Structure 1
Amino acid sequence: MARAKNTTQKKGRSGNPAKAAGPARTKRRATASDWIGGARLRTLTLGVVPVVLGTAVGFVDSGTTGDFGAYLQQDGHLALAVLALLVALFLQIGVNYSNDYSDGVRGTDEFRVGPARLTGAGLAAPRTVLTVALTFFGLAAVAGIVIVVLTQLWWLLIVGAAAIVAAWFYTGGKKPYGYNALGEVFVFVFFGLVAVLGTQYTQIREVTASGWVAAVAAGFFACAVLMVNNIRDIDEDRLAGKRTLAVLLGRPVARALYGVFLMLPYVALLWFVLLYFRSGFTYFTLLLALPALLIGVTSRKPRELITALQLSSFSALAYGVVLAITLAVQP
């Protein structure tokens, strides 16, 4: 009888080693605070930064005479900027809930160190989390369609569809590329190049050198935030079979690459300093970035790495806002 019982127990276990060995799920249901946490608000700065930078470089390269306020009132630039911001934020929130769902049903979140996830911790039904994710993807699509109608740039529908598909397959589908060391590529392309250049192009119908530099800066900040997050989860992701770039490279190299990602935007900033002297004030945001760098490359405690993630995210926001302001007030 004992042998039969053991056999039954083995059959009931998950094939995922992390899920099989993971702790029991909580019996409580998700609160409003849990759902807000699932949106991962501290990472949403990465959706704000490219739109702010795209609008700022659109202004300085538009040849518009007058102040920044006049530029925003011209040709619906303010409306386009707000819509682009909604697309970026809705898409990012959708990605965050989609990741929660996909990682949860795979068992990847069973050993996570950070805040409990809705699906992985059993706080909400997987289908409910999936529905919320798809709702935000839908809202992003609606905002994007409004941009297309206002600008008559119908080819942007293809770009928007590609962004949503890429967002889903980051951790969704049978072969998610986020599980195969390609997450940084996704965030660099869509939260850097596409978001900044798309914002600039919809406003002035042109992509400029300054737009490319700003896009690269935003993209590297996004890579830094993702990398430090994945450094924190290296052991858990390795156990769960999630091959992030941090897992593939190992902790020492991943830490060094995180530092490179975080500092490269400040190298790119030299372009703007040479063109617009006041943009040099943006270097003061290193007061946030350097502590993040120090913690990220030296700390071994997961909670300290969460602090590095938060500081990296706030550094990106400060960088984007300060640079945009200095560009907006150029004489």
Structure 2
Amino acid sequence: MVEAKAAPTPGSATIWLIASRPRTLSLSLAPVAVAAALAFAAAGDLRWGPVLIAALASALIQIATNLHNDAADFLRGADGRGRVGPQRVCAEGLIDAATVENGAKLCFAGAAVCGLYLVLVGGWPILVGGALSIFCGWLYSSGPRPIAASPFGELFVFAFFGLFAVCGAYWLAIGRFDPAALVAGAALGLFAAAVLLVNNHRDRAEDARNGRRTLAIVLGPRATGGAYALLMLAPYLLLIPMALLLPGRPVWTALAAAPFSAALVARFPREPPGPRFNAILARTAQVQAFFALLICFGALA
């Protein structure tokens, strides 16, 4: 007789791993990796300490934002046991909301501690950008008008998981700014925004019942599919200015990710909003990670 596998106990490492949403954690790490590769290509060396601490701070902010979102949505009644998205620990009763909120505060505090060191290295630009990242990470699910319930969530993700993440890490790596970092940040930010758009399209009906006005709700199903196509394909157009800014570097290798983007764009309008979009969301994040890996290869080749 085969014994049934015991479910993870509340508060265990497995439950906290679920709450951190590891399938999309690459969204915070890929920009730092690309920034490091571009910086090394430009200067032949970089400050590894600040780059590694920046990666840790970026991951902590994303995890903190996810934890706070889990607890805040549950307390607002936006998440229940019947949600079509991936498991949420508060809605499933695996950890109480107060404990998850404390976990979010701990991660935000850890990011702030990392930020103190990074400010000493990078100065006031890092202070401003880091403070805004933490502040907006909290406001994503808090306040009278949370960013997550508005049409501006994708813009938030584009800015903080794209432009600032790459440019900030690049600045920390070699102490200067180059336009190539801005272009790369825009490309990665577009992919990151696509991940959130998939999430909001999947949850469109439930979000509408809860009074939310996400971009997917504002645009409607057909236009949302067009917006997803734009977000998934525009990064490849940005390879043109990136190649011009990095002469002799084969950043064109990132085109190898294009077929995967095209496949997801074709699949998006054929799937009814629901659980099957969980796979599209995960694969969208994977395409961004693959694109970032290819940019790193092209910059360092």
Distance 2:261 2:99 in 1: 37
* Counterpart residue number, 2:224: 254
CA contact (8 A) 1:91 1:167 kept: yes
Please, which of 63, 80, 84 is the counterpart of residue 113 of structure 1?
Answer: 84
Residue 219 of structure 1 and its aligned partner are, at CA, apart by: 0.8
* Counterpart residue number, 1:36: 17
Residue 277 of structure 1 and its aligned partner are, at CA, apart by: 5.1
Name the TM-score, length of structure 1 as normaliser.
Answer: 0.83
* 1:128 to 1:60, Cα distance in 2 relative to 1, 3 A: same
Alignment map for 1:145-294 (pairs within 5 Å): 145-149=116-120, 151=121, 153-274=123-244, 275-276=247-248, 278-294=250-266
Residue 85 of structure 1 and its aligned partner are, at CA, apart by: 0.6
* Counterpart residue number, 2:104: 133
Residue 155 of structure 1 and its aligned partner are, at CA, apart by: 4.7
SS at structure 1 position matched to 2:242: helix
* Counterpart residue number, 1:3: none
SS at structure 1 position matched to 2:87: coil
Alignment map for 1:71-90 (pairs within 5 Å): 71-72=45-46, 77-90=47-60
Residue 297 of structure 1 and its aligned partner are, at CA, apart by: 2.9
* 1:92 to 1:226, Cα distance in 2 relative to 1, 3 A: same
**2:23 paired with 1:46:** no
- Paired AA for residue 210 in structure 2: A
Residue 291 of structure 1 and its aligned partner are, at CA, apart by: 2.3
CA contact (8 A) 1:108 1:242 kept: no
Structure 2 gap segments, 5+ residues each: 1-8
- Paired AA for residue 257 in structure 1: A
* Counterpart residue number, 2:38: 57
CA contact (8 A) 2:197 2:228 kept: yes
> What is the CA RMSD across the aligned residues, in angstroms?
1.7
- Residue correspondences, number: 290
Name the TM-score, length of structure 2 as normaliser.
Answer: 0.91
Identity %: 31
Greater shift, 225-234 or 153-162, is seen at 153-162
CA contact (8 A) 1:105 1:120 kept: no
CA contact (8 A) 2:31 2:162 kept: yes
Distance 2:177 2:127 in 1: 18
Rg comparison, structure with higher value? 1
Residue 323 of structure 1 and its aligned partner are, at CA, apart by: 0.8
Structure 1 gap segments, 5+ residues each: 1-27, 65-70
Distance 2:176 2:239 in 1: 21
Please, which of 115, 121, 124 is the counterpart of residue 95 of structure 2?
Answer: 124
